[in-house]
Amino acid sequence: GAGVSQSPSNKVTEKGKDVELRCDPISGHTALYWYRQRLGQGLEFLIYFQGNSAPDKSGLPSDRFSAERTGGSVSTLTIQRTQQEDSAVYLCASSFGTGGYTFGSGTRLTVV
């Protein structure tokens, strides 16, 4: 597609529920990233996929967080047993080479 597409744009969930966030990167971009942005804070790295290599999961904050990327394209970030501290904007980005990231508009997650 023309840009990075994320869905849903907003998600309100009850504490303890599982959520899935979706990212559709730019076609042909080999790298895909997930970041988290809490209110008034910078971007916190979560996970990075590059081609067929094993993902860099070093930023995932706990084992409640997982992500997969199917067919080198669409990615899903799953948060199990959500907690209030998981409330944030979850940003997906893709890139090709050293060109810098193209970001999606994000998913605003609110855990109540």
Partner 1 sequence: AQSVTQLGSHVSVSEGALVLLRCNYSSSVPPYLFWYVQYPNQGLQLLLKYTSAATLVKGINGFEAEFKKSETSFHLTKPSAHMSDAAEYFCAVSEANAGKSTFGDGTTLTVKP
Q: Which two tokens stand for residue 110?
A: 């609110």
Measure the CA–CA gap between 19 and 76, rounded to whole angstroms: 10
Q: Name the minimum Å distance from CB 50 to partner 1.
A: 6
Which of 13, 64, 105, 108 is in the footprint of partner 1 by CB under 8 A?
Answer: 105
41 counts as binding partner 1 under rule CB under 8 A:
yes
Q: Which residue from 75, 60, 88 is spatially nearest to 22, judged by alpha carbons?
A: 75
Query: 18: burial class by Cβ within 10 Å (0-12, 13-18, 19+)?
Result: exposed
Question: Which lies closer to partner 1 via its Cβ, residue 35 or residue 65?
Answer: 35
Question: Which lies closer to partner 1 via its Cβ, residue 37 or residue 80?
Answer: 37
Which of 19, 24, 35, 75 is in the footprint of partner 1 by CB under 8 A?
Answer: 35
Report how many residues bind partner 1 under the rule CB under 8 A.
22
Measure the CA–CA gap between 84 and 82, rounded to whole angstroms: 7
11 counts as binding partner 1 under rule CB under 8 A:
no
